[in-house]
Amino acid sequence: MDSSFYLIQLLNGIQYGFLLFLVASGLTLIFGIMGIINLAHGSFYMIGSYLAFWFTSLTDNFLYGILLAIPVTLVVGYAVERLAISYLYQRDHLYQVLLTYALILIFNELQRMLWGSDVHSVAVPQAFSGSVQLTENQAYPVYRLLISASCIVIALAMYWVIQKTRLGMTIRAGASNREMVQSLGINVNRLFAVVFSLGVTLAALAGMLAAPVNTVYPGIGDGVLIISFVVVVIGGIGSIKGAFIGAMLIGLADTFGKVLLPEMASMVVYALMALVLFWRPQGLFGKG
Amino acid sequence: MYTLTRPILIFLCLGVAALVLFPLVGSEFYVGLLIRIMILSIFAISLDLLIGYTGLISFGHAAFFGIGGYTLAIFFQDADSINFWIALVLVLSCSALVALLVGWISIRASGVYFIMLTLAFAQMFYYFFFESPDFGGDDGIFLFSKPEILIGSTSLIDLEDEHNFYYFVLAWMVAVYLILSMILKAPFGHVIVAIKANESRVRALGYPVQRYKLVSFVIAGTLAGIAGFLEAAHTGYVTPAYLGWHESGIVMVIVILGGMGTLFGPILGAFVIVLLQDFLPNFTEHWQLLMGGIIIAVVLFLPKGIAGLLYRLSNRLFTSKEYADVSQNSGDTPATVDVREQSL
C-alpha cells in the first residue's frame, strides 16, 4: 500500500466521478429546468453503451461508433419527450415516476429484443490501449485517462453552451422562471424537447465512454440511475456545480470505500448522502 | 376524506366474497398467486397511507417489507417451530423501530429530497443484508417451518396447509384495510389528509405537523413489515431483493395505478399488476413491452388510476348527473380531492 497505489485509486475515483457527473448533469438539467423526475435516465446510459457496442462492431472503429451513436440518442431522446413526457408537465411528479418507470420496462425489453441477454465487451480503441508507467510495477491505462479528459472537454463545452450561447441563456431563464420565458415568446415546448434530448444524451455519452472499461450487459443502467440520483440530491437539485461536486464526492467515496472498508463498501455512498442531507436537507448547492 | 359510494361498497363486498369462495373452485397455482397478490395489497395499502393521504412520497418503502421478512428469518432461521405470537411481536416492534428511525431523519426533508432520503435508507439496508454473511448475504435465508398459532397448547389453524394460509392472509388484508379506514376516520386521519392538502395551514392551526407525519410513517412502515413477514412465511425464504429499489418502485406503481388516496385502489392495482405479470407472458416473450405500454396508457388516459375509473363508471351508472360532473371536471387532481367534494 504505497503512495502510487493511492494515486491509482485517486485517478479511478476521479474518472468514476467524471462519468457520474455526465449522467448526473443530464439528470439535474432535466429536473431543474423541466421539473421532470426521469427514472428512465439510466436506460439512456444503457442505450449509449449498447449503441457504442453495436456501431463499434459494425464499423470496427470505436470513434465512428460513438459519432454514429450520439445522433441516434439525440433523436431517441427527442422522440421520447414529444411522444410521452410532454403530456406530463402539468401533472403530479408521481405520474412522471410511473410513466418513466414504464419507459424503463420498454427500453429493457427493446434491448433484449435487439441485442439479447448476453454480456458484451467493447475493445479499447487501439491508439489508447497502452498504459502509463507510474512506478516499476504500477501502471495506469491510458484509456481511463482519456475518459477523464473527454469528460472535462464535455463539461467545458456544456459550461460554454449554458453560459455563453443563446440556447444556454434560454435554458437558464427557463430554469428560473418558466412562465416568464414563455410569455417572452420563446417556444418552451421546443426548448424542453431540446433540453431533454441533450440531457439524456449526456447519460448516453457516459455509457458510451464507459463501455470499453465496463462490460455491456442488461440492466447496466439501473445501478447508474440510483447512484446519479444520489449525486444530484447531494449536490442540490438543478445545480450543475452541485452535480460536479456531488459526483466527485461519490466517485471518491465509492472507490476508497471499496479499498478501505470492503465489507460495507456499497453502503458508504448512501451513508454519505444521508449524512449530507441530515446536515443540509436541500443538498450542498440547493436553493431553499 | 373519500367516501365509499354504495356501488363501490357493493363491488368491494362482492370482491371479498369472491376471494372467500375462490379456493373452493380455483387451482392450487392460483391460490398461491392470490396469496402473493393479497400480501402485495397489504404492502401497497400501507404505502398509500403515505403517498395518498399524508403526501409523503416514500421511494424506500420496501425497506420495511424487507425488515419484516428478515426479522422473522433472523430470529427463527434455526428454529424447529415458529411461535406466531412471538414472531408477530418481534416483527411489529422491529419494523416500527426502524420506521421510527428512518422517518425521524427523513421527514426533516421534503419533496424530492424526502423521496431520495427514503431511497437512500432502503439502499443502505439492501446492501447491509446483501453484504453481511451473518444474515445470508445475497443468497438470503431459508425458513423451514410455517408459524404456528398457538392458544395455550392447541394450534388454532394449520398454516402448512395452503388453503388455511390463504384465509389467514385474506383476514390480514381485510383487517389492515379496516384498521386503516378507522385510523383515517379518526381525528388523526383528518389531520394527515389536511397536511397533504396544505401543510403550512395545518401548522398555523397549531398542530405538530412533523409528529403527525412521523406517526403516519411509523404506521405505514409497521404494516409493510407485516406484509414482509407474511411473504417470508409464505415463500419460506427472504432475499435482499425484498428491500431493493425495484420492489419499492413496483409497489409505488401499484399504488398509483390502482388509485392513490383510496384504500381499495392499491388492492385493485396489486391484482392488475400481478395478474398481468402472470398473464402477458402467455402471449409473447416480450411481455414487458406490453406491460410498459399498459402503464403508459393508464398514466395518459386514467389520471386517477383504476379506482378513479371505477368511480367514474359507478357515477355514470348509478347516480345523478350532478355527481358525474364532479368526477369529470378536475382533470389532474388525485382521487381524494374530487371524492372529498362528493362527501361534503
pLDDT of A231-270, one tens digit each?
988 888 878 889 999 999 999 999 998 888 877 777 888 8
Residues of chain A with C-beta less than 8 angstroms from the C-beta of B108: 278, 281
A94 in reach of chain B (CB within 8 A): yes
Residues of chain A with C-beta less than 8 angstroms from the C-beta of B292: 102-106, 109
Closest CA to A198 of A43, A27, A84: A27
- Comparing alpha-carbon positions, the chain A residue that sits nearest to B249 is A101
A102-135 confidence digits (pLDDT tens): 899 899 999 988 888 888 888 887 777 778 877 7
B334 in reach of chain A (CB within 8 A): yes
Residues of chain A with C-beta less than 8 angstroms from the C-beta of B119: 226, 229
pLDDT at B2: 60
Split at pLDDT 50, 70, 90, the class of A288 is low
B40 in reach of chain A (CB within 8 A): no
Give the number of beta-carbon pairs within 8 Å between A and B.
124
Q: Do A105 and B123 touch (CB under 8 A)?
A: no
- Comparing alpha-carbon positions, the chain B residue that sits nearest to A286 is B113
- Comparing alpha-carbon positions, the chain A residue that sits nearest to B302 is A95
Q: For chain A, state the CA radius of gyration.
A: 19
Q: Do A233 and B131 touch (CB under 8 A)?
A: no
Instruction: For residue A90, give the nearest of B113, B127, B332 by CB distance.
Output: B332
Distance from CA of A125 to the nearest CA of B (A): 34
CA trace torsion B150, B37, B237, A268 (10° rounding): -120
CA trace torsion B66, B69, B75, B80 (10° rounding): -150
Q: Residue B261 in 3-state DSSP?
A: coil
Instruction: For residue B288, give the nearest of A90, A109, A273 by CB distance.
Output: A109
B138 in reach of chain A (CB within 8 A): no
A202-217 confidence digits (pLDDT tens): 999 999 999 888 888 8
Instruction: For residue B253, give the nearest of A101, A264, A273 by CB distance.
Output: A101
CA-CA distance, B258 to B47, in Å (whole number)?
Answer: 12
CA-CA distance, B122 to B60, in Å (whole number)?
Answer: 5
Query: Which site among B50, B112, B129, B306 would you substitute to test the A interface, given the most A Cβ atoms closer than 10 Å to its Cβ?
Result: B112
As a whole number, the mean pLDDT across chain A is 86
Q: In sequence order, what are the residues at sequence separation of 6 or more whose Cβ sits closer than 8 angstroms to the Cβ of residue B250?
A: B273
Distance from CA of B298 to the nearest CA of A (A): 9
pLDDT at A3: 78
A61: left (phi over 0), alpha (psi -120 to 50) or beta: beta
pLDDT at B300: 84
Residues of chain B with C-beta less than 8 angstroms from the C-beta of A86: none
B44 in reach of chain A (CB within 8 A): no
A13-59 confidence digits (pLDDT tens): 999 999 999 999 999 888 877 778 888 999 999 999 999 999 998 88
Instruction: For residue B120, give the nearest of A99, A108, A274 by CB distance.
Output: A274
Q: Is the pLDDT of residue A6 over 90?
A: no
pLDDT at B229: 95
Is the distance from CB of A41 to CB of A223 less than 8 angstroms? no
A137-178 confidence digits (pLDDT tens): 777 888 888 889 999 999 899 889 888 999 888 888 877 777
CA trace torsion A92, A96, A101, A107 (10° rounding): 170
pLDDT at B143: 85
A1 in reach of chain B (CB within 8 A): no
pLDDT at B40: 96
Instruction: For residue B127, give the nearest of A31, A106, A267 by CB distance.
Output: A267
Per-residue model confidence as pLDDT tens for chain B (344 residues)? 466 778 888 888 999 999 999 988 888 899 999 999 999 999 999 999 999 999 999 989 999 999 999 999 999 887 778 888 999 999 999 999 999 999 998 898 887 788 878 888 898 899 888 888 788 788 888 888 888 887 777 777 788 888 889 999 999 999 999 999 999 999 999 999 999 999 999 999 999 999 999 999 999 999 999 999 999 999 988 999 889 888 898 899 899 889 888 889 999 999 999 999 888 888 888 888 888 888 888 888 887 888 888 888 888 877 655 544 444 444 444 444 444 444 33
From the number of C-beta atoms within 10 Å of its C-beta (0-12, 13-18, 19+), residue A113 rates as exposed
Residue appearing with cell numbers 403550512: B200
pLDDT at B320: 55
pLDDT at B220: 96
> In angstroms, how far is CA B272 from the centroid of its own chain?
14
